[in-house]
């Protein structure tokens, strides 16, 4: 198989690195507008070579650009012979943009989202085994070709992913709460911390705020692409925060303790 | 030196474990009302023995009980010959309670707070080197004996801590923002997550929410003891969250990106 990776940043670089190890993969080609990423991806051996355009004979094209650039690439590749996979954190807005332009999504496009990442970016930070035993969500569309889905599934399984298929609306709603919301909260939290307070922070602060070091550009776009669903998640959080604040302000220990205990019980269920 | 540890949970256990390694320490005795912790602390070799009362000849008494029990112990030990150290996450409420009862705090009591912890509790989770190269904040009082401060400083330095002295009001204000607030936010966040959403979480979720697995009882008490300062920190966060929400709701990318960039810049300064 020949693989093309469009966007050789941290995620695309990790796909390339993992794909090169597969026996079924003969060639990994990169496509990237960013000359620094392009040079790094070759120098680090993530891809065999870089090209200006997606090779016509690629069997799988992985679109790993920032989320807002995915729809244009899918549209551009509508007649490509290969299976088109993306790794975007939001699915609804991408598919809507593609459908608005083409009427329906290309049958060989399989929307995917690996739940794996890091606050770092760029091919130099592409981990060795980013997808190993991590969840990979597929959100195939009514118009998606089942053979394309099967190819995508085999590819991700070969990279070590655990697959889960769900409707795209469910994906965007769940991820708004489990991923986009914590990022937004971490950014808001860090915005309120003063530089001189940073040294008075322990391990709790460090872990809680780690994702606030993520790329502002990437994440603002993700927030925008999932705006309404994320706003609803923010409002739900705000209600939980208000309930806890109210219990504290009114010295209502019973309610406060109950809210904390319910939260802790849930967090302790995380495998 | 003889050391007594009152409260042999995770923090007290870690103090005991580290103290036993010091050449200057001849004996480490534990005091704990919790029979399971008491038995574990002996079985794990954290302390040489448990006693019902603090030994009269202890040179240093470390009070590592939950925060709400510290003031009573300081009051009980007002005539003890040793230096009394606590490790409470809140200082103002403890000192106020002691002063309210005794008029002034005992001169040999040195309020301390190691910025080291974990969401786990109990002596079985006492880490080997919890204090090594971690910040230790001392908030000595006008009535504190300088020789007691010097003894406390040497002790913590021997455990590997980096010392920082500040007024107790500063401690409570800064820690409300760098420690109590992220805990409260993590609890509120986890309260809003459904069990069935847990599996759709990545590394960001895991780190962000880790501290929500902390003890609800311990943290609710800390929140209560630092109530007004923490409520102010919550309101400051709420203003930051509202600003970000508003930028998103009104499609104000310029403001949204700026807020995210300021937050990310700050987080990246964390050493």
DSSP summary character for residue A192: T
pLDDT for the residue numbered A14? 96
Residues 98-157 of A with CB under 8 A from B: 115-119, 134-135, 137
Residues 57-76 of B with CB under 8 A from A: none
Contact A216 B248 (CB under 8 A): no
Average pLDDT over residues A143-170: 97
Q: Which of A179, A182, A188 sits opposite B244 (nearest CB)?
A: A188
The total number of residues shown for chain B amounts to 271
pLDDT for the residue numbered A117? 77
Among chain A residues, CA nearest to B228: A249
Pairing of strands B2-6, B60-63: parallel
Top residue of B231, B252, B264, B271 to mutate, by most chain A CBs within 10 Å, is B264
pLDDT at A155 over 80: yes
Contact A237 B192 (CB under 8 A): yes
What does the mean pLDDT of chain A come to?
Answer: 96
pLDDT for the residue numbered A232? 98
Q: Which of A239, A245, A266 sits opposite B193 (nearest CB)?
A: A266
Among chain A residues, CA nearest to B186: A208
pLDDT for the residue numbered A212? 97
pLDDT at A126 over 90: no
A203-237: pLDDT as tens digits: 999 999 999 999 999 999 999 999 999 999 999 99
Which residues are within 8 A (CB) of A126 and not within 5 positions of it... i.e. 6 or more apart?
A9, A10, A11, A12, A13, A14, A16, A17, A44, A46
**B191 interface with A at CB cutoff 8 Å:** yes
Contact A187 B236 (CB under 8 A): no
**B225 interface with A at CB cutoff 8 Å:** no
Contact A241 B234 (CB under 8 A): yes
**A24 interface with B at CB cutoff 8 Å:** no
Residues 229-248 of B with CB under 8 A from A: 230-231, 234, 236-241, 243-245, 248
- B41, B30 contact by CB (below 8 A): yes
List of chain A residues whose C-beta atoms are within 8 Å of the C-beta of residue B198: 178, 266, 269-271
> Which domains does chain B possess?
2-166 (3.40.50.720), 171-268 (1.10.3660.10)
3-state secondary structure of A50: strand
List of chain A residues whose C-beta atoms are within 8 Å of the C-beta of residue B231: 245, 248-249
List of chain A residues whose C-beta atoms are within 8 Å of the C-beta of residue B200: 115, 135, 137, 164, 174-175, 178
pLDDT for the residue numbered A161? 97
Among chain B residues, CA nearest to A217: B257
pLDDT for the residue numbered A121? 83
Extract the runs of DSSP E, i.e. beta strands, from chain A.
2-6, 27-31, 49-50, 60-63, 83-86, 109-110, 112-114, 135-138, 162-165
CA-CA-CA-CA torsion sign (B167, B173, B174, B180): positive
**A169 interface with B at CB cutoff 8 Å:** no
Contact A203 B118 (CB under 8 A): yes
pLDDT for the residue numbered A48? 95
What's the gap in Å between the CA of A210 and the closest CA on chain B? Answer: 7
Report the alpha-carbon distance of residue B262 to residue A190 in Å, rounded: 8
Residue A143 vs residues A58, A63, A101, A113, A149: alpha-carbon distances, Å:
22, 19, 15, 18, 11
List, for chain B, all residue ranges whose pLDDT scores fall below the cut of 50: none
Among chain B residues, CA nearest to A219: B260
Report the alpha-carbon distance of residue A197 to residue A91 in Å, rounded: 38
pLDDT for the residue numbered A58? 98
Q: Which of B209, B237, B253 sits opposite A188 (nearest CB)?
A: B237
Of A8, A40, A128, nearest to A28 (Cα)?
Answer: A8
Contact A216 B261 (CB under 8 A): yes
Q: Which of A182, A219, A245 sits opposite B260 (nearest CB)?
A: A219
pLDDT for the residue numbered B244? 98
pLDDT for the residue numbered A119? 78
pLDDT for the residue numbered B117? 77
What's the gap in Å between the CA of B26 and the closest CA on chain A? Answer: 31
Cβ atoms < 10 Å from Cβ of B46: 25
Provide, rounded to the nearest whole percent, the portion of chain A with pLDDT above 90.
Answer: 94
pLDDT at A271 over 90: no
pLDDT for the residue numbered B77? 98
> Can you give chain B as a three-state secondary structure string?
CEEEEECCCHHHHHHHHHHHCCCCCCEEEEECCCHHHHHHHHHCCCCCEECCCCCCCCCEEEECCCHHHHHHHHHHCCCCCCEEEECCCCCHHHHHHHHHHHCCCCCCEECEEECCCCCCCCHHHCCCCCCCCCEEEECCCCCCCHHHHHHHHHHHHHCCCEEEECCHHHHHHHHHHHHHHHHHHHHHHHHCCCHHHHHHCCHHHHHHHHHHHCCHHHHHHHHHHCHHHHHHHHHHHHHHHHHHHHHHHCCCHHHHHHHHHHHHHHHHCCC
């Amino acid at each position: 198989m020949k693989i093309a990776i469009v966007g050789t940043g941290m995620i695309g670089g990790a796909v390339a690195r993992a794909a090169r190890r597969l026996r079924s993969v003969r060639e990994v080609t990169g496509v990237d507008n960013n000359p620094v990423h392009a040079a790094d991806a070759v120098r680090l051996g993530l891809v065999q070579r870089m090209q200006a355009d997606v090779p016509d004979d690629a069997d799988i094209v992985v679109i790993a650009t920032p989320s807002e650039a995915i729809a244009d690439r899918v549209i551009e590749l509508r007649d490509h012979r290969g299976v088109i996979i993306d790794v975007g954190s939001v699915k609804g807005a991408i598919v809507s943009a593609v459908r608005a332009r083409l009427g329906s999504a290309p049958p060989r496009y399989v929307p995917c989202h690996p739940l794996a990442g890091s606050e770092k970016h760029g091919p130099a930070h592409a981990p060795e085994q980013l997808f190993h035993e991590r969840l990979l969500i597929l959100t195939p569309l009514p118009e998606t070709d089942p053979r394309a889905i099967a190819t995508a599934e085999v590819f991700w399984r070969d990279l070590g992913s655990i697959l889960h298929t769900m409707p795209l609306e469910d994906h965007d709603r769940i991820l708004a709460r489990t991923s986009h919301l914590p990022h937004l909260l971490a950014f808001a939290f860090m915005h309120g911390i003063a530089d001189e307070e940073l040294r008075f922070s322990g391990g709790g602060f460090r872990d809680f705020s780690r994702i606030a070091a993520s790329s502002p550009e990437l994440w603002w776009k993700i927030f925008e692409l999932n705006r309404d669903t994320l706003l609803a998640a923010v409002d739900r959080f705000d209600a939980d925060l208000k309930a806890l604040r109210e219990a504290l302000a009114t010295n209502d220990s019973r309610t406060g303790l109950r809210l904390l205990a319910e939260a802790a019980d849930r967090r302790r269920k995380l495998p």
